[in-house]
Structure formats: structure tokens, C-alpha cells
Amino acid sequence: MTIDQLLTLIEHTALATRVREGDWWFPLDECLHVLSIVTVFGSILMMDLRLVGLASRDSAVTRLTKEVLPYTWIAFAFAVITGAIMFISKAKVYWHNPQFELKFLFMALAAANMLVFHFGVFRRVADWDDALPPPPAARLAGALSISLWIAVIFFGRWIGFTT
């Protein structure tokens, strides 16, 4: 089976058909997607600005990860679900859309950055939990994360203008 055949199969599922043909399914799903991503980006930005050393300087890094990141992950889960619902409604269109591909490329880079940070300098966070400025590796990870997520949001919005 080719990828296009698989995508066509996905487009013909009951849910995909309903989202595509209903008047309000897609807009409402998109609204929830926007709410999810503003929560994801807003909370990640708080974390990243702390890693860069620009904001929330009165909070220890681990304190902030406990306070902020649970909401990031809950919102991210909603973003994945609502995003998947949009995707299946026009799977072939999105799959072949360059902006869609770039969005996922930058999301993959953001994930890689997060893993490098998590298994790198974050393992020794006890040494720099309150240190200002934070170590260069943490500041770099924060700055990269901000830049990559900005790109994700730009290409995400751009998809709507090119599909």
C-alpha cells in the first residue's frame, strides 16, 4: 500500500468524514487546538526564559518545572488530539503541504533539544538550581527552545493559508 492509499483510507473513516463535511466540527476543533498551543507555548516560554536567566529569577529551576511543565504536557496532549482530528479530515492535503512538513521538522528539533537538555545539563540541576546566570548549556537550550517553538507556531499558522 502506498502512503496516499493509506491517507485516503484515513480520510474515509467516519470521524474524518464528519469533521470534513460538518459545518462546525473543524472550526471548533481548530479553536481547541489554538487554546492548547497557546497554553503549550505560554508555559514553555516561562520555563525557557528561566533557563535563559531572563525571568522568574526568584524561582529555582526545579520548582518551576514542577509548577509549569504538568500544564505544558496536558495542553500538549490536547494539541496532539485536536491536531490529529484536523489532519485526518484532509490527510493527503496536509501530508503534501510543505509548511506542514516544516512545522513537524521544527517540532522534532524542539524535541531533540529537550532530550539533549534533559539528559545533559539537567542531570546536574542540583548544582545550578538557583545559580544566576544559569550554565551556558541551559541558557542555550532555553534560547533554542524559544526559537524552535516560534517557528512551529509560524508554520502552523501558515498551513491555514496554503491548504
Partner 1 sequence: MHDLLTSLANWIASTRLSLFFQTTEGLIAASQSIHILAISVVFGSGLMISLRLLGIGASGRTVSRLASTLLPWMGWALLVLLLTGLLQLVAEPVRELGTTAFWLKMGMLVCVLALNVWFGRTVRARAAVWDSAATRPASARLFAVVSLLLWVGIVLCGRLIAYTWQQ
Tell which residue, 151, 152, 146, has the closest CA to residue 43.
146
Among 20, 25, 30, 143, binds partner 1 (CB under 8 A): 30
Among 2, 58, 119, 126, binds partner 1 (CB under 8 A): 58
- Shortest distance, CB of residue 8 to partner 1, whole angstroms? 26
- CB atoms inside a 10 Å sphere around CB 102: 17
Binding letters toward partner 1, positions 121-160, x by CB under 8 A: -----------------------------x--xx--xx-x
State CA 77 to chain mean position distance.
Answer: 10
Residues contacting 45, CB < 8 A, separation 6+: 146, 149
64 binds partner 1 (CB under 8 A): yes
* Environment class of 27 (CB within 10 Å of its CB; exposed 0-12, middle 13-18, buried 19+): exposed
Residues lying near partner 1 in the complex (CB under 8 A) are found at: 27, 30-31, 34-35, 37-43, 45-46, 55-56, 58-60, 63-64, 66-68, 71, 150, 153-154, 157-158, 160-161
